[in-house]
Amino acid sequence: MLIHLFLSPIVFAAPAYTNIKLGEKVEGACRHVDSDDDDQSLPSLGSTGSELSEFTCDEISQVELCHLLGPAIPEDESKHVTIPSGFTRPANLEHSIKIDLPVGFRRIRKAFLNQDNDFWDKKVLSGTLKYKNIASKGWDRHSDVIGSPTVPKGLKYGDIVGATKKTEYLMPKTALVKANMAYETTTITAYDDHCFAIEMMTSNPDVPFGKKFIAHTKIVVYNTGANSCVMECSVETVFPNGPPMAISRQIKHAMKTGSIEVFEKIGSSIKNCAVSYGWV
């Protein structure tokens, strides 16, 4: 999931996600699944440069996020959630966190997946991470349906599973590496009114050791009814040709800590927005 891991033979810098400017961390918003994870302090938000000068930087972030998430969806108000017959809970990857969100399931699904929503490309990639030259080819099938509250007659939810989307973007230069391209393939691996899951495989072949690993990230969202859902985010490192003996542990650690921090910030920001703007 958009991992910016840059390293020298012995130096690992924090992923570019650490410049994310979403809402301030809310105590209790995120729950670690890994028992051995260390608590990490989050960087300050800093200035956003927004024209909304009457807002603080925290409030600007929340206003933008609320707008990009779109309006509430009436179907999310129901307290009753039907679990499909034969449902199998998607397995998490090696390192994961669980985040309770006071936002409707279909609202989150639309924000994350709908081709006409700017939440991901505009807010996360461009606005927050400052990536440039973002190019997405869109979902390879059912692009006009994916993320919608309902599916048309004749189409089953299972028909959406397996849809893929390719995205590439230019990541900014850092003190260690020049600006470089990242290539990401996203696949929908679960999709119904109880759960959706996306898995992302991201490579940065132009960074040091970039051809030796791929970032595998996964987001699973469960409908818990009454305008709420649970998001489980996980990550693991893939070494296509086997792990490099000297540095594989450092690569995995850097990818884990950077990804978990990003997941926490996204979840905390959505929760902040919900509390501050009366969703709960």
pLDDT band at 267; cut points 50, 70, 90: confident
* 79: confidence class by pLDDT, cuts 50, 70, 90: very high
Residues 225-261 as b/e (b if ≥16 CB within 10 A, e otherwise) read bebbbbbbbbbbbeeeeeeeeebbebbbebbbbbbbb
Q: What is the mean pLDDT of the chain?
A: 76
Can you give the pLDDT at residue 184?
93
Q: What are the residue ranges of helices labelled H in the chain? A: 57-69, 105-113, 157-160, 248-276
Looking at per-residue pLDDT, the higher value among 130 and 97 belongs to 97
**What six digits make up the tokens of 251?**
């690569």
For residue 257, what are the contacts with CB-CB under 8 A and spacing of at least 6? Answer: 14, 40
Question: Which of 163, 134, 112, 161 lies closest to 266 in space, CA to CA?
Answer: 112
Among the residue ranges 40-44, 73-77, 224-228, 269-273, the one predicted with the least confidence is 40-44
Contact between 218 and 198 (Cβ < 8 Å): yes
d(CA 6, CA 267): 25
Which residues is 101 bridged to in the sheet?
A: 229
Question: Does the pLDDT value for residue 14 go beyond 70?
Answer: no
Which CB contacts under 8 angstroms, 24+ apart, belong to 151-159?
157/191, 157/192, 157/193, 158/191
Measured between alpha carbons, how far is residue 120 from residues 117, 141, 217 in Å?
8, 19, 15
Average pLDDT over residues 210-227: 93
Give pLDDT, residue 55. Answer: 37
CA 70, CA 111: separation in Å to the nearest integer? Answer: 7
- Conformation bin of residue 68: beta by default, left when phi > 0, alpha when psi is -120 to 50: alpha
Instruction: Check residue 65 and give its pLDDT.
Output: 62
